[in-house]
Each structure stands twice: as C-alpha cells, then as structure tokens.
Amino acid sequence: MTYAGERVIFDADSHLMELPDFLTAHADPAMRDRMPPMGSLATGQFNPAAHIGKAGHDAATVERLMALGDQITHGPKWHDALGSFSGTERAAALDLLGFRRQVVFSSFCARPIFEASPDVAYAAARAHNRAMAAFCNGDRRLIGVAMVPLDDPEQAMAEIAYAHSLGLGAVWIAASAPGGRSPGHADHEPIWAMLAERRLPFILHVGSAPLSIEPAWMNDGRDRPSARGGAEVIGSKDLTVIHHAAVRFISTLVLDGVLERHPSLRGGIIELGAGWVPDMIRRLDHAASIWAKSEPHLAEMSRPPSEQIRAQLRFTPYPFEDVAAFVRESAPELYLFSSDYPHAEGGRDPIGRFERSLAGADEAVKRRFYADNFADLYPGA
C-alpha cells in the first residue's frame, strides 16, 4: 500500500533541496564564480552545508526511511527526507507516496536568480535548469520546473527553448513587471506564444516575489518571536499578503489580453494558497465589464476573465484551507492537490487534510482536484 492508496493522485508541488554546489556544479565555467551562494542559506530548520559532497543519504538511512512505507510523509523533512537531494532516492520516495506524477521545484534559488543582475540571472537560470534536469530525468514521473527571468525577452526565449530541450515541463517566472514592462507588453508576446505552442505552463510560486511583509509592519514595539526563516519559512503576517504579487501579475495578464490572445497558454499559481481566488475572479469580471467603454480593448474580449481563468489557470490551496468552499464560490476546474514534499508546510498528512476539507463534495469534484485539473495544466500527464 502507498500513501495515496487507491486514489489516482497527481502532485502539483514538491521540492528538491539544493546542496551548496547546486548552481556552481552546473554553471558555465566562466560564470561559476559569480553564482549566487547556496551554502549561506542555512536556517534553524535545515543546513544544506551539512550535506556537502553527498550524492544521497547513506545506505542505513535510506533503509530506515524506506521502512516508513505508506507513512513516508510522517518522516523527516527538508534535507533529511528521502529523495530530498537525490533523484534516485526521489524515485524510491515516489514509489512510497504513490503519486502518478510529481512536479519538482527548487527551494532556495528563486530570489537569488530573479534579483540578480541580468548577466548573472540568465547564467544562474541555465545552471539551475541543468541541475533540475539532472535530478528529474531518471524518472518520467517527475516533472522538473525550469526557472527563467523574463526581463530580456530574447534571452528568455533562448532559455525556455533550452530548458524544454532538457526535458523540463514548466517555466517558473517572477511575479513582477519584467524589464519594467507589463507582462502583457507587446515585447513579451513571443514568449507567451512560445509557451503556448510548446504546451509549457508558466508558474508563479512562492519565491516569485519577496516572501515577507516589509520590516516596518513587523515593528510593533514588542519583543515577540516570529516563525520567519530562510527559503520558504514565513510568519503569520507574511501569510496575509503572500499572494498579492500573484494577484497583480495575473490580473494584469488577463486585462492586457494575454490569455485571450493565447487560449492554449496555461499557468499554475502554486503554494500561494487559494482563498483569494474567487474574489480575484469577481473583481476581474467587474473590471472588464465596467471599464469596457473607457478601455475599448476590454470590450473586444470574446470570453469574460472568469471563463479565461477557468480554462487556463490552476491554483493550489494550502492544506488548512476549505477547498469545498472555494469550489462553491468559483469553479471545480481551478484547484489542484499538492503535497509540498519534503517541506514541512505540507504537513504530515496532506491527503487527510484535503479529504476533510472536501467532505461532502461529490466524487467528480474530488477527481478534478486530485487528477483531472493537473492534466489540464500538464497535457499528456
């Protein structure tokens, strides 16, 4: 028996845990010394430097972790989990998890790459994408996610083509105005057309924008603990605003007509929760309707924003959110299961938590959540 049991499940969000040489080992030699440092990202929860030089866990540790069987999600997290930094081990972990396919993101690279100078950003993205392919290519069940800054459209298209040639199956982008332009700017049309033609979804994920609320909002004049840390470790105040950049990016993309012009384009908004999605959809329908006279391009849309989003975008709720309520407020096509393995945020039993939130939903809704909506985002999965 696997953790998934008899249910068909596709996992829209998991992670590898980078070691300090993740980028340098895969960078072009001339740029190796300019890669963002990975060994400086240790926190109280994990320390990648402790695993320098390892290709995986020792045999005794692997045997102990394999013995967890269908309780694999109750085991260690971060670098100590089975398959956290070894692709071979990840295949074994996936056997225990029982997911049909699993999307794999990096953990530490997003902000160092997206915030770097252009020459470093594209060189680091290439190193990242080679490293991601090396991790995932040993098992067809794994869908590796490339990372590509969009600031320079010509370099972005070259890197998308290269990442696709490596076998990577999605493109993680920043939730910012690329190169000081709207994502719907005419200069970006070839990027969206390429992604649509190649059936590569774009991804906004935690790390597509800075994770934490600005320091001024943390200053309450009291000495209080916070859960904040490195990588994706956020505090309570951060959670309340973590989706704002994604809302702005998606709203601009829709109102500038990108989804309308590229109906084959798909996008995933991952690990940013989903409680905000029904309201965003309502607001976009209002915006397109109310401003159609003063902004005539909105009146030219053949589909309202809500219809475009239902057809082309997918979102992963957090395990503590009420997925059934979101479905009632919007549409069952929108939401995806994710485990966040091996990050602690996924919890010990993500399936159990989602099952409780979907109590009372009919089987067709559950099938969409666990499998069918994933197939919409990743055709051929």
Domain-embedded: residue 5: no
Domain-embedded: residue 4: no
Structure confidence by residue, pLDDT tens digits, 91-134? 999 999 999 999 999 998 999 999 999 999 999 999 999 999 99
Domain-embedded: residue 333: yes
pTM flag (> 0.85): yes
Q: Please choose, from the candidates 301, 191, 192, the residue with its C-alpha nearest in 3D space to the C-alpha of residue 257.
A: 301
The CATH number that applies at residue 287 is 3.20.20.140
Q: Give every strand in the sheet of 102-105, ordered side by side.
A: 11-15, 102-105, 142-147, 170-172, 202-205, 267-270, 313-315
Compute the distance between CA of residue 37 and CA of residue 44 in angstroms, rounded to an integer: 18
Pair 171, 198: CB distance under 8 Å = no
Compute the distance between CA of residue 199 and CA of residue 149 in angstroms, rounded to an integer: 19
Domain-embedded: residue 100: yes
**How many structural domains comprise the chain?**
1
Domain-embedded: residue 1: no
Domain-embedded: residue 267: yes
Structural domain that includes position 124:
11-377
Q: Please choose, from the candidates 68, 53, 64, the residue with its C-alpha nearest in 3D space to the C-alpha of residue 20.
A: 53
Domain-embedded: residue 348: yes
Domain-embedded: residue 352: yes
Structure confidence by residue, pLDDT tens digits, 281-307? 999 999 999 999 999 999 999 999 999
Per-residue pLDDT 10s for the chain (381 aa) are 899 999 999 999 999 999 888 999 999 999 999 999 875 554 434 555 566 666 677 788 888 988 889 999 999 888 889 999 899 999 999 999 999 999 999 998 999 999 999 999 999 999 999 999 999 998 999 999 999 999 999 999 999 999 999 999 999 999 999 999 999 999 999 999 999 999 999 999 998 888 767 778 777 777 766 655 554 567 788 887 888 999 999 999 999 999 999 999 999 999 999 999 999 999 999 999 999 999 999 999 999 999 999 999 999 999 999 999 999 999 999 999 999 999 988 889 999 999 999 998 999 999 999 999 999 999 877
**DSSP class per residue in 200-255:** --EEEETTSS--S--HHHH--SS-------STT---HHHHHHTTHHHHHHHHHHHH
Compute the distance between CA of residue 241 and CA of residue 272 in angstroms, rounded to an integer: 10
